[in-house]
Amino acid sequence: MVKLLAALPIVLAACGPETTSFRTTDRSDPAESTGAAFYQLRVGERGAATVHVWSNGGYIGTSDEPMTHVGFDIRNTGSRPIVFDEDALQLVVTGKSGVPLPATKFVTVTPLGPAQVTIAPGASSLLDAYYQLGVRPRTVEAMRVRWSLRAGADTAEQITSFVRDDDYPVIDYRPAIERAPS
> Which tens digits make up the pLDDT trace of 72-110?
999 999 999 999 999 999 999 999 999 999 999 999 998
This prediction's pTM: 0.82
Domain boundaries, the chain: 22-170
Backbone angles phi, psi at 103, to 5 degrees: -60, 145
Reported as a pLDDT band with limits 50, 70 and 90, residue 26 is: confident
> Which tens digits make up the pLDDT trace of 156-171?
999 999 999 888 666 6
Tell me which fold the domain 22-170 belongs to.
Immunoglobulin-like (2.60.40)
Reported as a pLDDT band with limits 50, 70 and 90, residue 134 is: very high
What string of H, E and C letters represents the secondary structure of the chain?
CHHHHHHHHHHHHHHCCCCECEEECCCECCCCCCCCEEEEEEECCCEEEEEEEEEEEEEECCCCCEEEEEEEEEEECCCCCEEEEHHHCEEEEECHHHCECCCCEEEEEECCCCCEEEECCCCEEEEEEEEECCCCHHHCCEEEEEEEEEECCEEEEEEEEEEECCCCCCCCCCCHHHHCCC
